[in-house]
Amino acid sequence: MLNKLLYHKKGWPPTVIHLVIGIISSGFPIIIIGWFLFVLFTSVTSLKFGSTYNNKINYIYLVTYLSSMESIIRMSGAFPILPYETGKYVLFFGFIIGIFTGMNKGNIGWMLLVLLLPALFFDKSFEVTKGDLYFNLLGPIDICLGVIFFKGFKINKDDVFNVLKLFALPIIFCAGFALVKTPQDFGDVDFGLGANFMTSGRSGSNQVSTVFGLGVFVLFIFQIKGRTFTNSRIIDFIILLLFGFQAFLTFSRGGVFGAALAILLLIIYEYFFLDKTEGKLLSNRLASSLMPLLFIGISFLIVDNISNGKLTLRYLGETEATMANTKEKDINSVTSGRFNIYEEDIMLWNDNFFLGTGVAASKNLRKESQYVLSHVEFSRLLAEHGLLGLIFIIIILLQIISINGQEGNYKGILMSIYLIAIYTTFHAATRTYISPLLLGISLITVNKSDEIN
């Protein structure tokens, strides 16, 4: 089934199909449930395990696509028939099956997994439930398994874009859904200086902003590498404009900033570090990036105009309180309270340096932000896992060295994917499939010759 989506002779019909299904799901979430199960069963029945490259890449296709449906499952309300954290469960079981059928190159992931275990056996708050353990630990465990599953896996150049396409296609579901759920008359929308629930498909604005930002990022990769997402540059730019429009419309900045940083890193790499004997000339790379940047800029201006300039104020870090001069703009107001949670996590780590507070206990022990979930995964790891959490973080950050050590012209893509995976943990922790999946993908090895057996 997934190969039909990737290799359709006209290119654009799969995009249209996803858009239509997303629109229909706004009233009938059963269609998302049906599509998920249809793709799962048609793919599993034809799936073959074994050491051949085709078997392995088809399995990666399936895990990538199904986990990436998590956002539309949340937006459409397809849970509890499909779990709220479907993507994280798909990754967990998908990685486990893949690892025990021979896709296990990243042995450093086993060390990461061991580092997480001690904090499972104590709770200094005495308030942690089993549900808290699942919610807080599944994401980091998926990161460990993703490192084992992906690291060192050699992939053909064309399959890099196939994986990215299967990652982005489910975002088109979200775009169709959001188009319908967003009020058609923007005069009915109360554009304030905070994240907007009405323009986020009636779903979590931070998560919605993040997936649309990722959509922009993937479309940009296709453009700067001279590829097409739909076999039509016109349709590609329409999709890019749609993703950008919906991302800005949420008024949630985290996902947009992440995409912007990843795009900036990719541009810097393509212009200044790419081997010109293998890649395109500088002038061609410059031209290929200008058009998508123009469309991203246009989408910002459209939303800024619709909101009467509120979008600009939002990205300048203003709030209703700072505009009314009842509160000074500081790092905590700019980060929507995240910095305060981060500070309190660090204070907990200082008091529980070696072993931490235990998994999921930090939110119960904080003072000002008690019972508020952490938004920064690294500070949560420090607070709850102590010194072992610090070692976990250092190992994850050191993975950039192996990515930078790769040869060929795909290093910039992998580094930018790694950046966005890490950045997402600073505003959305590991609450979604995004960081575990993207971190794993960033650790693959792109083969220079396209000849893999």
Tens of pLDDT, residue by residue over 180-212, are 999 888 888 888 888 888 888 878 899 999 999
3-state secondary structure of 446: strand
The residue ranking higher by pLDDT, 3 or 343, is 343
Q: How far apart are CA 235 and CA 12, in angstroms?
A: 8
Tens of pLDDT, residue by residue over 373-386, are 899 999 999 999 99
| pLDDT number for residue 201 | 82
| pLDDT number for residue 216 | 97
Cβ atoms of 3 and 41 closer than 8 Å? no
21 has pLDDT over 50: yes
Q: How far apart are CA 142 and CA 132, in angstroms?
A: 16
272 has pLDDT over 90: no
Residue with tokens 């909101």: 307
- Max mean pLDDT among 135-139, 286-290, 445-449 falls in 135-139
Q: How far apart are CA 21 and CA 16, in angstroms?
A: 9
**What are the sequence ranges of the domains in the chain?**
186-336
Tens of pLDDT, residue by residue over 398-430, are 999 999 888 778 999 999 999 999 999 999 999
Measured CA angle at 61 (ends 439, 80), to 5 deg: 80
| pLDDT number for residue 452 | 44
| pLDDT number for residue 327 | 81
Q: How far is CA 230 from the centre of its chain?
A: 21
Tens of pLDDT, residue by residue over 331-373, are 988 888 899 999 999 999 999 999 999 999 999 999 999 999 8
Measured CA angle at 438 (ends 429, 168), to 5 deg: 110
What count of other Cβ atoms lies within 10 Å of the Cβ of residue 42? Answer: 13
- b/e per residue 95-109 (b: at least 16 CB within 10 A): beebbeeebbbbebb
128 has pLDDT over 90: yes
Report the mean per-residue pLDDT for the chain. Answer: 92
**Sequence-distant (≥ 6) Cβ neighbours of residue 192 within 8 angstroms:** 251, 310, 320
Q: Which two three-digit tokens encode residue 401?
A: 């060295």
Tens of pLDDT, residue by residue over 88-122, are 999 999 999 999 888 777 889 999 999 999 999 99
| pLDDT number for residue 449 | 64
Range with lowest mean pLDDT among 54-63, 186-195, 206-215, 430-439: 186-195
Q: How far apart are CA 309 and CA 306, in angstroms?
A: 8
Cβ atoms of 222 and 268 closer than 8 Å? no
Cβ atoms of 279 and 409 closer than 8 Å? yes
The percent of residues above 70 in pLDDT, for the chain, comes to 96
Cβ atoms of 364 and 380 closer than 8 Å? no
pTM: 0.94
